[in-house]
Amino acid sequence: MYDAAFAAWRAGFVRDAQRHCHMAILASPDCAQPRYLLSLIEFSLGCASQAKAVLSDALARSTSASEALEFANALLAQGRTEDARLTLLHATKLDPTFAAAHFYLSNTFGPQEAERAEAHLRQAIYLAPSLAEAHNNLGNLLRASRPGEARASYEQAIALRPEFVQAWFNLGTLLENTEPEAAQNALRRAVELDPTFAPAWNALACLLPESHWREARDALMLAVEIDPNFAVAWSNLAHILSRTNRAEAESAARRAIALNPNLVSANYNLGVLLGPARADEAIRVLRHTVALKPDHANAWYQLGHLLSFDDPAEALTALREATNLNPEIANAHAVLGNVFLAMGAAEESVAALRRSLECDPDNIVAHANLIFALPFLSDCPEVLMRECSRFAAQHEAPVFVCEREHLNNPAPNRRLRVGYVSGDFDSHCQSLFTIPLLSNHNHADFEIFCYSSVAEPDHVTASIRGLADVWRDVRALDDATLAQQIRADRVDILVDLTMHMEGSRRLLFARRPAPVQVAWLAYPGTTGSPAMDYRLSDCWLDPVDEPGRDDLYSERTIRLPRTFWCYDPLTEGLAVNSLPAANGEPFTFGCLNNPAKVSDHALGLWAGALAAVPESRLLVLEPRGVPRSQLTARYVAHGMDPSRVSFIARQPRRAYLETYHRIDLALDSFPYNGHTTSLDAFWMGVPVVTRAGRSAISRGGKSVAGNLGLPELVAYTDDEFVRAAHAFARDLPRLAALRGTLRTRMEASALMDAPRFAAGIERAYREMWREYCDSQCGRRAVGGQVIPTVFHGNCG
């Protein structure tokens, strides 16, 4: 009857099996076997309490340890861990020497009962020392708390059974963080024994160094081929593929998420892959990632990085979460520094960027950003020079080429090849200055090369491309490869238009791909690099008669005739309006400079101007993502009545220029003057009162005003600034007259005389080249010793 019951159970005829079990129990009331089986049957029919009662009856009658073990495994298959444990405990009472019962009993205990599990495993090993599975399981139990003992257990399991794949796998994953080479060997042995063991292929791929990424990719592709539902392996494959094929990487990440929507690594990988190009979806995915794992510091960092482009305030929250969770994430501190700067908090920006470099001194982007941020905070050029020199020593020195043979023909009067390197040959404000120059180069004497790293070319890119003799899209080239290309192009003079700004290629210039290298346009300052020969300036930014002025820069300073800039507004059909205050409007001061330039010093100057002109108003550009209540509180802290301050958001260029129709007099920022913004203001008929300092960056306003013949707009002390603002504000006829003539004055000045400006730069290039040619002749004549000549530009 029992055999009939068991056969019916195996065949799926549950009710028949139940009936036969009852008959067997009636025939043999003291037999345990039919009661064991009936317990399984009752449970399958949903009668859990009845199943438990029948099992209790079975255990009361059971006299066979092996029989109890058999049914304990069946109970485990039904998910009845507690009932299986009772059955196995009964088996060990029937036969205390039954090693298998102790072995299986150890598997019924959870993490909270690890000591009991260990005791039974050790008893199993004591009773059956050759039981390899027990040694392996003991290793699993001990790996978190006693890794050394766990390793010994795995190795014993392997010694007993050299082909024990799972033990090799467990040993490999145990050692991955401490002995990667031994771990690799163990995992390689696992896949050698069983090439279809997908988890081992996955673990091996994760363990391989970056240089072996192709082997890792192949291992993961094998893993997902063996087990197409292996979500973790798909996620890891996405990470590996991201370096070569982002489309395939994205597909792999999405496959992982389809298999397991809550797999943290897959969501994180997808968010990173989507990146800024598909920011909305990336942000959504990364929000899901941190919801799944709130302590995922890198996910918070990536989320903050994406938010920083459009929502600095929320980015600030995410980045602070990242740095709180892991204070050593250098990139999170670096992005935090950029966010602070965008919000007008230069002091906090510099502190965050310095913290980034403490975490990772080799973080070249953070170091460049620090150099870019410092002038917003300090008017001391020595501070900037020291930091630039540190940058060069830290990052450029490993690739710096002091003197390298160039194959350029050292003929002083031949046609020169001039190369411009920039990532801003697009709608960036830099184009307001590059287009006037490139449009007026003498192509008979100069062959113009443009090396563009523009990420998303636009209509301005197309315009600039048409101005070059040779255009190269080099965004995909690393610095070493680009240096080779420039050498192959035989460029004579290479001009850096970016310096330490975003997208800088300082390590390109450190390789000295051209005989003469020049810094210009990015900002009036220095690179601090021994690889740069010259910097362009003018006599307003860098007075010729100021002792020690040229010692503030690592490059030799060449002062262009009259002006550092030549400007084209690149906007047509926008007229200058009449003075708003002359039409009955409240007198309005304004500053539409980058909010990063609004230092506490600048706020003090503006507060003085407002106080000197009762009933006046101030219109300023609003930092993205900063609540207006927070902005207002900052202005109030500097003594300004909040009802007199208005904020305006960023706008497209034409609408931004039209904002000057509302402004009577512009107030410059300090210590970082407005440069492009000041030129825009003057072109729209709005004079700019500026405060000149020591650094070239703080003298940009003076350079513009000097070129316009308006020295009365330049102040050298805070009191002078307030007095100048007051003087213009109280004389509306004078201000209205100036407004009406400023555009004409601009157009007649060197600031918009592009042919003259281009000719001046070309003369500077020719003098640089002649000096280089003289040095080559000097080498040949004096056995390699360079005998330089000296020349200066002028402001006449």
Region 565-577 average pLDDT: 95
Tokens of 741: 């003539």
Backbone angles phi, psi at 360, to 5 degrees: -145, 90
Per-residue pLDDT reduced to its tens digit, 693-737? 999 999 999 999 999 999 999 999 999 999 999 999 999 999 999
Q: For residues 535 and 526, is the Cβ–Cβ distance under 8 A? A: yes
List the one residue out of 576, 577, 579, 613 whose CA is nearest residue 732: 579
Paired strand residues for 52: none
Residue 779 has a pLDDT of 53
Rounded CA-CA distance 556/767 in Å is: 13
Structural domain spans, the chain: 2-189, 275-377, 416-559, 580-752
CATH 1.25.40.10 fits 275-377, yes or no: yes
Write the pLDDT tens digit of every residue in 267-296: 999 999 999 989 999 999 999 999 999 999
Give the β-pairing of 516-519 and 714-715.
unpaired
| CA-based max dimension of the chain | 123
- Domain 416-559 shares a fold with domain 580-752: yes
Share of the chain above pLDDT 70, in %: 97
Amino acid letter, residue 343: M
The class of domain 416-559 in CATH terms is: alpha beta
pLDDT band at 791 (very low <50, low <70, confident <90, very high): very low
With a threshold of 0.75, does the pTM exceed it? yes
> pLDDT tens digits for 641-677?
999 999 999 999 999 999 999 999 999 999 999 999 9
As a whole number of angstroms, the distance between CA 509 and CA 504 comes to: 10
Burial label for 255, CB within 10 Å (0-12, 13-18, 19+), is: buried
Q: Which amino acid, one-letter code, is at 114?
A: A
Residue 518, strand partner residues = 495, 534
What is the topology classification, in CATH, of domain 2-189?
A: 1.25.40
Write down the H helix ranges in 423-565: 431-438, 459-465, 479-488, 506-510
Q: Which CATH class is domain 580-752?
A: alpha beta
C-alpha radius of gyration, the chain, whole number: 38
Interatomic CA distance for residues 255 and 266, integer angstroms: 9
Cα–Cα distances (Å) from 261 to 240, 280, 289, 738, in that order, read: 20, 19, 10, 66
Mean per-residue pLDDT over the chain, rounded = 94
For the purposes of burial, counting CB atoms within 10 Å of the CB of 654, is it exposed (0-12), middle (13-18) or buried (19 or more)? exposed
CA–centroid distance for 519 within its chain: 26
Tokens, residue 576? 């200058």
609/723 Cα distance (integer angstroms):
8
What single-letter DSSP state applies at residue 554? Answer: S
Residue 566 has a CB neighbour count (10 Å cut-off) of 27
